[in-house]
C-alpha cells in the first residue's frame, strides 16, 4: 500500500512539475506598429517618405491616398490576454491585446485606438476605433480612418509574431531606430 501511495505521489509530482514548467515557458507576442499620416494631394505617383521603406508595399496598396509621412514607429511585446499600450501622438494611443491562436495558427488580436478629446473643458479618453481579428504572423493589419489634427488621416500598420518567453526583449520605442525591426509583408 505504501508503495502504491509513493507511486501516486511521484506521478502527481511529475505532472505538476511538468505543468509548472510549461506555465513558465508561456509564449509572448512581438508587436510592431508604424503610424502614418496619409493624405490625398493629387499626385500622379504615390509619395512615400524614405523612413517608411519597410511598409511601402502595404501603403501603396491603399488606394484612397497618394502621400504618406511617418508619425511614429514602436515595437513592444505582450503575453496572451495582456494589453500593450503604444502611444501614436499626443491624441491617439494604440491598445493591442493578443487573445489567442485560431485553428489555422493565426494570432487573434483585439486592437483599439484610444483618443484623448476635450469635453466640458476637461480632457477625456474614448475608444475611437476598435477591431478584433485574426492575423497571420508577420502580415500587416491596417487600421485607417481617424483624422489627424494636421492635414490627413491616421493609418496604423500592425504586425505580430509569436516567440517563446525565453527570448524576451524589453519593450522599446523604435523612433530612434535602435531595435531590430520586424518585417512587414
pTM value?
0.76
Amino acid 5: pLDDT: 58
Q: What is the rounded average pLDDT for all residues in the chain? A: 82
Percent over 90 (pLDDT), the chain: 66
- Domain assignment present for 15: no
Residue 179 belongs to some domain of the structure: no
Plot region of 145 (φ>0 → left; ψ -120 to 50 → alpha; else → beta)? left
| pLDDT tens sequence across 6-65 | 565 546 555 554 444 444 347 899 999 999 999 999 999 999 999 999 999 999 999 999
Q: Is residue 1 part of a domain?
A: no
pLDDT score of 178:
35
| Residue 107 forms part of a structural domain | yes
Question: Counting every residue, how long is the chain?
Answer: 185
Whether 175 has a pLDDT exceeding 50, the answer reads no
175/179 Cα distance (integer angstroms): 9
> Does residue 179 register a pLDDT over 80?
no
Q: What is the mean pLDDT of residues 175-180?
A: 38
End-to-end CA distance of the chain: 62
Q: Are 155 and 68 in contact (CB under 8 A)?
A: yes
**Residue 7 placed within a domain:** no
Give the structural domain span for 108.
Answer: 27-173
CA distance 182 to 116: 29
What is the per-residue burial (b if ≥16 Cβ within 10 Å, else e) of 16-26? eeeeeeeeeee
Residue 88 pLDDT > 90: yes
Q: pLDDT value at position 50?
A: 95
Confidence of residue 149 (pLDDT cuts 50, 70, 90): confident
Q: What is the pLDDT of residue 142?
A: 96
DSSP bridge partners of 15: none
Split into its structural domains, the chain has a count of 1
Distances (CA, A) of 116 to 47, 93, 149: 29, 9, 12
Residue 12 lies in a domain: no
Query: What angle is formed at CA 166 by the lines to CA 160 and CA 170, rounded to 5 degrees?
Result: 60
Whether the Cβ atoms of residue 129 and residue 146 lie closer than 8 Å to each other: yes
Higher pLDDT: 158 or 171? It is 158
Do the bridges between strand 67-79 and strand 47-48 make them parallel or antiparallel, or are there none, so unpaired? parallel
Amino acid at each position: 500500500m505504501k508503495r502504491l501511495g509513493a507511486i501516486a505521489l511521484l506521478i502527481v509530482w511529475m505532472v505538476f512539475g511538468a505543468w509548472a514548467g510549461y506555465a513558465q515557458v508561456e509564449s509572448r507576442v512581438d508587436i510592431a506598429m508604424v503610424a502614418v499620416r496619409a493624405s490625398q494631394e493629387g499626385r500622379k505617383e504615390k509619395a512615400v517618405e524614405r523612413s517608411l521603406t519597410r511598409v511601402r508595399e502595404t501603403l501603396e496598396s491603399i488606394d484612397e491616398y497618394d502621400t504618406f509621412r511617418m508619425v511614429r514607429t514602436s515595437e513592444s511585446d505582450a503575453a496572451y490576454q495582456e494589453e500593450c499600450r503604444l502611444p501614436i501622438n499626443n491624441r491617439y494611443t494604440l491598445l493591442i491585446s493578443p487573445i489567442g491562436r485560431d485553428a489555422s495558427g493565426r494570432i487573434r488580436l483585439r486592437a483599439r485606438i484610444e483618443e484623448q478629446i476635450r469635453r466640458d473643458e476637461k480632457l477625456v479618453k474614448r475608444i475611437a476605433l476598435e477591431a478584433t481579428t485574426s492575423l497571420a504572423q508577420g502580415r500587416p493589419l491596417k487600421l485607417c480612418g481617424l483624422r489627424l489634427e494636421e492635414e490627413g488621416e491616421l493609418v496604423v500598420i500592425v504586425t505580430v509574431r509569436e516567440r517563446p518567453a525565453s527570448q524576451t526583449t524589453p519593450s522599446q520605442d523604435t523612433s530612434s531606430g535602435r531595435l531590430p525591426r520586424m518585417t512587414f509583408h
